[in-house]
Amino acid sequence: MTTLQKSGTMIPITITKETVLVVKEQDVVPLRNTVKQCAVKIKMGLVNQTKLITAASELVRNMLRYAKGGAVLVETVSVGRNQGVKLTFQDDGPGIADINQAMQDGFSTGNSLGLGLPGTKRLVNEFDIKSTVGSGTTVTIIKWVNG
């Protein structure tokens, strides 16, 4: 198993959580709404909301394309006085053989622009990906209100 972590020394405390299942393309719309509601609830600014929802949109597409769907855990979290939205994308798809390669701009095995993972990482504050070939991939992102 390989992992890649961006930062994150403190462990966030979960305030609310909700799981959204994504099995077809249209499911991305309710997921975006759930994420938006969470972000609005903790008074996240419009630009950060947009970045977070765009990141979620990218990751859901990956899940649908490579793993035929999965589950998304939507949480509002806090570390000290800082609040944020944490999203965990879990699938039991084929997994990613080389995460470092998958994180490179322009790399894709699926005939896309290859911006999904590296682009998503740029849009959020915390980004963590764990993948095991043959058993699935878990991507966790956090966007802080003041991030």
Partner 1 sequence: MERIPILKMGQFLLVTIQVDLYDRLALDLEADLINAVEKNAAKGVLIDISAVSIVDSFMGRILGNIANMSRLLDAQTVVVGIQPAVAITLVELGLPLTGVRTALNVERGMELLNSLITFDDTTEEWDDDTDNDH
Enumerate binding residues for partner 1 (CB under 8 A): 25-26, 28-29, 32, 46-47, 49-51, 53-54, 57-58, 61, 105, 112-113, 115-116, 118-120, 122-123
The nearer residue to partner 1, 11 or 47, going by C-beta atoms, is: 47
Q: How far is the CB of 95 from partner 1 (least distance, A)?
A: 22
Q: Helix, strand or coil for residue 141?
A: strand
The nearer residue to partner 1, 77 or 123, going by C-beta atoms, is: 123
Q: How far is the CB of 116 from partner 1 (least distance, A)?
A: 6
Q: How far is the CB of 6 from partner 1 (least distance, A)?
A: 15
The nearer residue to partner 1, 35 or 96, going by C-beta atoms, is: 35
The nearer residue to partner 1, 10 or 46, going by C-beta atoms, is: 46
- Please choose, from the candidates 7, 6, 4, 33, the residue with its C-alpha nearest in 3D space to the C-alpha of residue 20: 33
Q: How far is the CB of 134 from partner 1 (least distance, A)?
A: 26
What single-letter amino acid sits at 141? I
- Number of Cβ within a 10 Å radius of residue 48: 20
The nearer residue to partner 1, 60 or 96, going by C-beta atoms, is: 60
Q: Helix, strand or coil for residue 110?
A: coil
**What backbone phi and psi angles, to 5 degrees, belong to 107?**
-90, 130
**What backbone phi and psi angles, to 5 degrees, belong to 69?**
105, 180
> What is the spatial distance between Cα 74 and Cα 8, in angstroms, rounded to a whole number?
18
> What is the spatial distance between Cα 125 and Cα 84, in angstroms, rounded to a whole number?
10
